[in-house]
Copies of this chain bind each other. A is one copy, B any other.
């Protein structure tokens, strides 16, 4: 937490990102994506290690993407997700 408390608009933007992290499946998703050899994953890589149904995993990926914590790229029939490291870094600085 910076010495100056965040303004209300800043705090609202940060709270939206923390809300996206406030779910155990989404925290595990972020870890699983970062643990992939090239730091990216499609839903096909994530369903089995997470032990959740594909629509549920897709939903969580969308929540993380909307919150700016994942970026995505469509290649062929799959969408590949990578962690937005700068967004996580900004949250880390908030907690410093």
A residues lining the B interface (CB < 8 Å): 1-6, 8, 11-12, 14-16, 18-19, 21-32, 34-35, 49, 83, 88-89, 91-92, 94-96
Contact = CB atoms under 8 A, between A and B. Distances in A.
A27 B94 contact: yes
Contact of A34 (B3, B19, B49): B3
B95 A91 contact: yes
B15 A30 contact: no
A95 B95 CA distance: 10
B35 A8 contact: no
Nearest to A30: B1
Contacts of A83: 1
A22 B24 contact: no
21 contacts: A1-B27, A1-B34, A3-B35, A5-B27, A5-B28, A5-B49, A6-B27, A6-B28, A6-B31, A8-B28, A11-B25, A11-B27, A11-B28, A14-B21, A15-B22, A15-B23, A15-B24, A15-B26, A18-B27, A19-B19, A19-B22
